Structure 1
Amino acid sequence: MSAAAPAPAKEAGVAAFPWDEAMALCFGTLRLSPKDFWALSPRELAALASPLSRARGGGPSRARLGELLQLYPDRR
């Protein structure tokens, strides 16, 4: 028996690839098979993850909310 290979050392300033998060997204959320997951290119994986990782804008301003309430009142 041989010991497991040591984990590669991280380069200065470079984070390790988030495999756990990528697999959770692809297997859990997107329900990809392992075969399909491992066949993805890095660009394809990034495209699958991008809608879920984009920064979301803030809510509407108070003025815009007022405008929307005027246009779409809860009661008539």
Structure 2
Amino acid sequence: MRAAAGASHEARPFPWGQVIHAGMCLLRLSPDVFWALTPVEFFAMTGGMRPQGRGLDRAGMEGLMRAFPDG
């Protein structure tokens, strides 16, 4: 499957510690609620679905370079 996708990177283990910490410590979910969540629900609860801001365009970068010159 990896060869078909062209990926040569080693798979990283799933970050269970971070996910459990976010769900139970930061969001203060009970274990029953945490384990009943779908991945999409968890993604939404942790801010994954909030609108992403646009990146800095060329005009914005040039404005920053004028405001904060390197030298």
Q: TM-score, normalised by structure 2?
A: 0.51
Runs (4 or more) in structure 1 with deviation over 6 Å come to none
How far did 1:48 drift?
Answer: 1.7
Unaligned runs of 5+ in 2: 1-8, 56-63
Amino acid paired to 2:38: S
Does residue 16 of structure 2 align to residue 23 of structure 1? no
SS at 2:12 equivalent: coil
Number of residue equivalences: 47
- Residue identity (%): 36
Unaligned runs of 5+ in 1: 1-11, 64-76
Supply the RMSD in Å over aligned alpha carbons: 3.0
Does residue 46 of structure 2 align to residue 43 of structure 1? no
- Aligned equivalents of 2:33, 2:17: Cα separation in 1: 16
- Greater C-alpha radius of gyration: 1
